[in-house]
Structure 1
Amino acid sequence: METALDTKQIPVWQDRRAIALLMAASLTTMANATIAPALPGLERLFAGDPNAALLTRLLVPAPSLSVALFAPLAGIAADRVGRRNLLLFGVVLFVLSGCAGLVLPDLPTIFASRLVLGIAVALIMTAQTALVGDYFSGDDRNALTGLQISARNLGGLVFILTAGWVAAISPRLPFAIYGLAAAFLPLMWLVIVDPPRLSPAGVAKPGALSDDHRSWRLPLTMLVLLQGATNMIFFIMPTQLSFFLDARGYDSAIMTGSALGVLMLSGGGFALLYRRIQRAVGYAGIFALGYGAMALGFLILLLASTTAAIFVAAAAIGAGYALVSPSFVALALNLAPARKRGLAGGILTASIFIGQFCSPLVSTPVIATPGYAHLFGGTAVLLALMTAAATLAGGANRLRRR
């Protein structure tokens, strides 16, 4: 087995531990969206249930609720019982709860299995984030956080497309896709090991923060809040785009799938460039670029009158989100003491899904009264202000270095 102290100088993408962690990252997008193409078929299959319309629509966001509630607890467990056991148990639970929809007899039990799936995702994401910090540092860590976003985007695209094909055969078949995670277990079992358990005295280094030092907590809190807000903004796309396109007279099912596919491909591509761009412009610069691209995307969406413009807007939003997302993980792992990386990973994970859960709660009332123009225009203005703030922060940092 490879250990956490293995220091062979090989590219991060050739490190078997990194490959195992990227496999884990690809599961997070699969959790929610894989069964989306099967929802109409499931509603028809269980038409005898008086709550079928509601329950089928809750199957996709159900895991997010569990992740938001359990991820901080998973973070505490990762620091106390180890990352390896948490990750392996999470993947096994992911397979069992994800595939359960193949055989469960009714919608309420399928809904319950989706809540359990969210617990599995919380375990996987929390352990995976902590292990990135344990195994890698510096440029390698930045490269891996970028590759994670690519794995989530490209993996999600493959899983959703596959689900669309098999859902045409049977609405239950997309649940079988969760079984693919079982193929990842052998590599994870071989290469994922816990780092040595260090005492607080053993962790501390001259000039470093101790676990009892509180100065890391406030910056981490601000980072978590910013990540939650970023995900709330980004999730306007999957939650509201289909209704916007329907109001514009498009075939919303085809156009939404195509636009989200463009978004994922753009995000996956730009995430591969994350390390190079971050090295060139720094963290403040990459936040400015990312939020600027997202602002441009929502502005184009506001003004879009052609299909091509909608695709350009989706590509810009996907690229911007892919640039800022890895920085949250990298900065959090830099801030948190080694023995608190599990907790930091759990809180970060929770903030992603809380932002996703809150997104339609905030955006739907805006659409109901002023309309899509105010939602997209207001979002573009907010992102432009965030771009300006990041630019100013970058300028202030450069002045301090002089």
Structure 2
Amino acid sequence: MEPQAVWRDSRAIALLMAASLTVMANATISPALPALERLFGSDPNASLLTRMLVPAPSLMVALVAPFAGLLADGFGRRRLLLGGVVLFIVSGCAGLVLPNLPAIFASRLVLGIAVALIMTAQTALIGDYFDGQRRSAFAGLQVSARNFGGFLFISLAGCVALLSPRAPFAIYALPLLFLPLMWKAIVEPTRAARSQDGGVGDSSQTRRMWVPAFAALVLLQAATNMLFFLMPTQLPFLFDVRGLDSAVTTGLALGVLTLSGGCLALLYARIQRKIGHGGVFAAGYGAMALGMLLLARSEALPFSLAGAAMVGCGYALVSPAFVALALRLSPGSHRGLAGGLLTASVFMGQFASPLVSTPWIASAGYGSVFAGAGYLLATMAVATTAIALVRSWRYRGQQNNLPAASPPAL
């Protein structure tokens, strides 16, 4: 599916609008975090609660998404998606009026339930509406929509945070503009579309094989998002200790991150066709590693922005690969559950990120944490390359013995 073809399919436009809400859910309030901490400075837990506002939705997504996947398989995708968007608007805007940090934190947990419904239904619908190369290409467009939406929402948040620490919560009302199109365009897939397999085949052998491969994919995605989520949760404080205007600079850096990633994600389908999934993971993790090391080693703003751009480009390469591989591995009858587990892994990694990084920062400092993340990502680039080479070698060796061998996952 080329980008120009999207504008002729109202279903695709509606799903891309839903995808843009993912970044808004967590990172929109990032530029206002230091100011929110000062606003609620009388709360003895202000430091921890403020930092937990960004990943708080992730906890509920991780807990709820698998159950949302079961609901999507049993009761349909459309109601889950539309109900999730309505709940998203109400819970997201609640921070405008809630009186204290614990109440705002609770509203962020409800926001996570909304995101779980939206993302699980959306992932299942991608598998229902599209197949083959069109599905893989749409996964890249989905990441692009998230990043361009993130560029708009986070940049806007960086500006309005100068007016008031609470002002970024108003941005959660923007999905009201999307609802009419979603209501009209999103239709419940037919039973045939929902039961169509994504590529694992019908044999009992291939159906057994999808579970361990899918589990490995889920764990890898959780680790990836734990490292990536240093950007919205800890980058504002890194800039703050370096004496920069954290609200404006964070908004700019995260805007650069999402814009660069959005541009590269438009090319994902072409890149994947040329270098395969193994090459995509190696290049993506390598770019993220370089970006983290730039942020760790240089205090100059241009280098920091270049580092943010590299992280954004790398993440934009690996993210659609997870979706495409998950939908190819999972049987059509379990597509909702697969979407729920995949969604849960994203947000479990995000929720774990500040829990792991905050004590690490307390003992080693911000620079050491970003450098350590860079080295871990470099190791992941080498490891995924090696796994892809081994799987490719085994697959070639088995082709003459298996009448219908499935292609390697990486």
TM-score by length of 2: 0.86
* Cα distance in 2, alignment partners of residues 206 and 357 from structure 1: 31
- Report whether the alignment pairs 1:111 with 2:127: no
- Report whether the alignment pairs 1:241 with 2:235: yes
Q: 2:114 is aligned with what amino acid?
A: A
* Cα distance in 2, alignment partners of residues 72 and 341 from structure 1: 11
1:60-90 Cα distance to aligned partner (Å, 9 max, x none): 3221221111111111111111001100111
Q: 1:250 to 1:34 in 2, by over 3 A?
A: closer
1:92-151 Cα distance to aligned partner (Å, 9 max, x none): 111222223344455443332222111001000000011011111122112211111111
Alpha-carbon shift at residue 260 of structure 1 (Å):
2.0
Q: 1:157 is aligned with what amino acid?
A: F
Q: 1:60 is aligned with what amino acid?
A: V
Q: Which residue of 1 aligns with 2:191?
A: 197
Question: Which of 85, 105, 112 is matched with 1:91 structurally?
Answer: 85
Secondary structure of 1:369 counterpart: helix
Q: Is the 8 A contact 2:253 2:305 kept in 1?
A: yes
Q: Which residue of 2 aligns with 1:340?
A: 334
1:14-64 Cα distance to aligned partner (Å, 9 max, x none): 321111000001111111222334456656666776665654444332212
Query: How much identity, in percent, do the aligned residues show?
Result: 64
* Cα distance in 2, alignment partners of residues 107 and 302 from structure 1: 31
- Report whether the alignment pairs 1:36 with 2:30: yes
Return 5+ residue gaps in structure 1 as ranges: 1-6
Q: 1:24 is aligned with what amino acid?
A: A
1:214-244 Cα distance to aligned partner (Å, 9 max, x none): 3211101000000000011111222232333
Alpha-carbon shift at residue 349 of structure 1 (Å):
0.9
Q: Which residue of 2 aligns with 1:227?
A: 221
Q: Which residue of 1 aligns with 2:211?
A: 217
Q: Which residue of 2 aligns with 1:326?
A: 320
- Report whether the alignment pairs 1:157 with 2:122: no
Alpha-carbon shift at residue 210 of structure 1 (Å):
6.2
Q: Which residue of 2 aligns with 1:269?
A: 263
Q: Which residue of 1 aligns with 2:174?
A: 180
Q: 2:62 is aligned with what amino acid?
A: A
Q: 1:149 to 1:204 in 2, by over 3 A?
A: closer
Q: 2:281 is aligned with what amino acid?
A: F
Q: 1:398 to 1:116 in 2, by over 3 A?
A: closer
Q: 1:42 to 1:201 in 2, by over 3 A?
A: closer
Q: Which residue of 1 aligns with 2:55?
A: 61
Q: Is the 8 A contact 1:87 1:124 kept in 2?
A: yes
* Cα distance in 2, alignment partners of residues 191 and 69 from structure 1: 29
Question: Which of 124, 137, 142 is matched with 1:143 structurally?
Answer: 137
Question: Which of 8, 17, 22 is matched with 1:14 structurally?
Answer: 8
Q: Is the 8 A contact 2:16 2:142 kept in 1?
A: yes
* Cα distance in 1, alignment partners of residues 240 and 107 from structure 2: 32
Q: Which residue of 1 aligns with 2:407?
A: none
Return 5+ residue gaps in structure 2 as ranges: 398-410
Deviates further, 100-109 or 291-300: 100-109
Q: 2:63 is aligned with what amino acid?
A: L
Alpha-carbon shift at residue 163 of structure 1 (Å):
2.8
Secondary structure of 1:110 counterpart: helix
Secondary structure of 1:227 counterpart: helix
Q: 2:5 is aligned with what amino acid?
A: P
- Report whether the alignment pairs 1:355 with 2:381: no
Q: 1:148 to 1:372 in 2, by over 3 A?
A: same
Q: 1:130 to 1:112 in 2, by over 3 A?
A: same
Alpha-carbon shift at residue 344 of structure 1 (Å):
0.8
* Cα distance in 1, alignment partners of residues 14 and 321 from structure 2: 21
Q: Which residue of 1 aligns with 2:95?
A: 101
* Cα distance in 1, alignment partners of residues 212 and 200 from structure 2: 22
Q: Which residue of 1 aligns with 2:275?
A: 281
Alpha-carbon shift at residue 348 of structure 1 (Å):
0.9
* Cα distance in 2, alignment partners of residues 203 and 362 from structure 1: 38
Instruction: Please tell me the root mean square deviation across aligned C-alpha atoms, in Å.
Output: 3.0
Q: Is the 8 A contact 1:294 1:320 kept in 2?
A: yes
Q: Which residue of 2 aligns with 1:4?
A: none
* Cα distance in 2, alignment partners of residues 14 and 375 from structure 1: 45
- Report whether the alignment pairs 1:311 with 2:311: no
Q: Is the 8 A contact 1:204 1:210 kept in 2?
A: no
Q: 1:210 to 1:338 in 2, by over 3 A?
A: farther
TM-score by length of 1: 0.87
Deviates further, 77-86 or 302-311: 302-311
* Cα distance in 2, alignment partners of residues 131 and 114 from structure 1: 26
Secondary structure of 2:188 counterpart: coil
Alpha-carbon shift at residue 178 of structure 1 (Å):
1.7
Q: Is the 8 A contact 2:65 2:340 kept in 1?
A: yes
* Cα distance in 2, alignment partners of residues 159 and 50 from structure 1: 30
Q: 1:233 is aligned with what amino acid?
A: L
* Cα distance in 2, alignment partners of residues 242 and 105 from structure 1: 24
Q: Is the 8 A contact 2:152 2:255 kept in 1?
A: no
User: How many residue pairs get matched?
Assistant: 394
Q: 1:164 to 1:370 in 2, by over 3 A?
A: closer
Q: 1:190 to 1:354 in 2, by over 3 A?
A: same
Question: Which of 369, 384, 401 is matched with 1:390 structurally?
Answer: 384
Q: 1:128 to 1:311 in 2, by over 3 A?
A: same
Q: 2:136 is aligned with what amino acid?
A: N
Q: Is the 8 A contact 2:236 2:250 kept in 1?
A: yes
Q: Is the 8 A contact 2:78 2:121 kept in 1?
A: yes
